[in-house]
Amino acid sequence: LVWTERVVRERLERILLRPIAFEVDKVEMAGTGGEVVDEIMAALKEHPTVPLKIEGHSTHPNAHFATVPSKGRADSVKATLQAAGRPPAAPTGRAPRGAAARIQRSRRRW
């Protein structure tokens, strides 16, 4: 099982080189976001017992306001996966530590 999890994790990492895109400040997927989730589901259908952690992220400069779309985005991906047959997962709805610094770097690029 550990080997299988590693193989699936590596496959998912390759898939997620393309981010799941969302509309600005919204929880609806945009562009190819749905296609990326479909690819994730295909990988997970082959190995349904592999654990899955879903996190949503937002680039909103205010951490308090970023939490709402972050959780909503995680819930959106969770609902899409569940509709396709994936067992429930518990989305964290948070940005990882260090996200604020990455957001500031991202904002400076624009």
Domains and CATH numbers, the chain: 2-109 (3.30.1330.60)
pLDDT of residue 14: 92
Task: Give yes or no for residue 107 having a pLDDT over 50.
Answer: no
pTM above 0.75, yes or no: no
Percent of the chain with pLDDT over 70: 71
Q: What is the mean pLDDT of residues 51-69?
A: 74
Which of 16, 5, 22 shows the shortest CA–CA distance to 69? 22
Mean pLDDT of the chain: 75
What's the pLDDT score for residue 44? 83
Kind and range of the H or E run holding 81:
helix 63-83
CA–CA dist 6, 102 (Å, integer): 27
